[in-house]
Structure 1
């Protein structure tokens, strides 16, 4: 687990609901539970500050870190995709982004490709990306953030003359591989769900164990944001395995949610001069769809 990636998970899963900032000492203690040393945490913080993903607020001899606007967009996009209820119906429109960068902007072009992949777009040619999801606002925010208005064109269309929707999907995404990865997730975590239920019933789980397990499964499930574009249900295969994986994720997440939050609150040392009203209910259950 890389320190930067874990920090994004911690901000999205906990810190954003507790004032949006954290004392570096609390962050070091939380991340030590995942085998990450203090020097690694401080090094990751420095790099994230340099990349304008984190910002610091000094109070006496203490440093409090929060996500910048640029980092917040990344966190919020991720949280929304992890916890939002899946779309039921497709509106019939493809969102298509085309770009052209000179060779001296190759690094920027690679960064845009990562952003588009993260957002759920599929690449159907070297400079053309496509999605059936209503992502206009997110893409326009990305274009504005990177100041690439002159290099990009975003448009939507309900008609693709040369290809069927199925062939477009096959061209832009490897749904078979995504399905395989979901099956592996289920094979790994289904036995863990049974074990956690047994331990919870017999009071054999500490708050710290719950925090580490919940954070780990969120971190693992977040990886699907780079693979699964989150298609509307009517564009997915029948009996889509991703739905079963999501239900399993929900069951584990909620089984250990309260002790996980309790542990975070015991470690999270806030600035006594800051009036912070935690959104505890949201931290416990951020899902926008309830499974039964």
Structure 2
């Protein structure tokens, strides 16, 4: 099939959805075979996993003449956080507290500032003003991990605070996040996958869909839905608009995922070499 997504990104998806549940280790040969289903060749897989190794996401181990790759502690932490957000069932009630992070990272450490900014966006923080980020979610541990990871404690100030105005919480949310745009993206996801879900559900019930096709469909579904981690701050219900499409999109994702799960797992297990 035609290559749809970049190799590195698909490897992350496979680790999060499969490999991390099978001992977190995979032989490069199995990884190459799995990625072939998406149109990725051996050269691109080896290049991507080598980059991920250098970036600290995976680590390699030789057993005889075979190379095996596993997630590092950093990689596992990222996958665990992503899984919690992708497969969450219900948001906890909001405690009414805003978490506020402010940094003053000097220009000569601009690369750290840029990396920290991307991490904050991924973690669901919103930009209130220049270098001032907020979230209603209890992110204390993640923030301390980030500060230690980038060694920026001397440049960062972190608060827990209550909002006292001058308007209301929803106005503050709208200033930091474009929920209308996120809603539009969720609507697009539903429009794209709702009919496909109905067709595939019938095919699977009739035995007209191969395990390999289910594996590809499930992986691409997770891969697409995972993109919302970069735009949806996972706000508590108390701060969401009345017409929030995210819940309907989550229900569709969950239903579609479950009908593909068993045949997709069978295919993975047929390729995976322990």
Q: TM-score range by the shorter chain?
A: over 0.9
> In the alignment, which of 107, 113, 116 is matched to residue 109 of structure 1?
113
Q: How does 1:167-178 map to 2 (within 5 A)?
A: 167-178=171-182
Q: Please report how far the alpha carbon of residue 132 of structure 1 lies from its aligned counterpart in structure 2 after TM superposition.
A: 0.6
> In the alignment, which of 248, 252, 260 is matched to residue 244 of structure 1?
248
Q: Please report how far the alpha carbon of residue 60 of structure 1 lies from its aligned counterpart in structure 2 after TM superposition.
A: 0.3
CA distance in 1, matches of 2:161, 2:148: 22
- Residue 158 (structure 1) aligns with: 162
The superposition leaves residues 53-76 of structure 1 with CA deviations (integer Å, 9 ceiling, x where unpaired) of: 110011000011011112222111
Q: Please report how far the alpha carbon of residue 163 of structure 1 lies from its aligned counterpart in structure 2 after TM superposition.
A: 4.2
Q: How does 1:80-91 map to 2 (within 5 A)?
A: 80-91=84-95
CA distance in 2, matches of 1:160, 1:110: 30
The superposition leaves residues 52-106 of structure 1 with CA deviations (integer Å, 9 ceiling, x where unpaired) of: 1110011000011011112222111111111122314211010111111111111
User: What TM-score, normalized by structure 2, do the two folds share?
Assistant: 0.96
- Residue 128 (structure 1) aligns with: 132
Q: Please report how far the alpha carbon of residue 239 of structure 1 lies from its aligned counterpart in structure 2 after TM superposition.
A: 3.9
> In the alignment, which of 6, 14, 29 is matched to residue 33 of structure 2?
29
CA distance in 2, matches of 1:136, 1:121: 12
CA distance in 2, matches of 1:142, 1:2: 27
Q: How does 1:125-274 map to 2 (within 5 A)?
A: 125-270=129-274
- Which is further off, 85-94 or 123-132? 85-94
Asked if structure 1 preserves the Cα contact closer than 8 Å seen for 2:163 and 2:169, the reply is no
Q: Please report how far the alpha carbon of residue 180 of structure 1 lies from its aligned counterpart in structure 2 after TM superposition.
A: 0.3
Asked if structure 2 preserves the Cα contact closer than 8 Å seen for 1:3 and 1:40, the reply is yes
Aligned residues: 270
Asked if structure 2 preserves the Cα contact closer than 8 Å seen for 1:88 and 1:234, the reply is no
Instruction: In structure 1, list runs of 5 or more residues that go unmatched.
Output: 271-292
The superposition leaves residues 265-286 of structure 1 with CA deviations (integer Å, 9 ceiling, x where unpaired) of: 111101xxxxxxxxxxxxxxxx
User: What TM-score, normalized by structure 1, do the two folds share?
Assistant: 0.90
Bigger relative contact order, structure 1 or 2 (CA pairs below 8 A, ≥6 apart): 1
CA distance in 1, matches of 2:130, 2:60: 39
- Work out whether 1:2 is the aligned partner of 2:45: no
- Residue 95 (structure 1) aligns with: 99
Q: Please report how far the alpha carbon of residue 154 of structure 1 lies from its aligned counterpart in structure 2 after TM superposition.
A: 1.4
Secondary structure at the aligned position of 1:97 is classed as strand
CA distance in 2, matches of 1:40, 1:154: 41
Asked if structure 2 preserves the Cα contact closer than 8 Å seen for 1:86 and 1:233, the reply is no
> In the alignment, which of 54, 58, 62 is matched to residue 58 of structure 1?
62
Q: Please report how far the alpha carbon of residue 37 of structure 1 lies from its aligned counterpart in structure 2 after TM superposition.
A: 1.4
Runs of 4+ in 1 over 4 A off after TM superposition: none
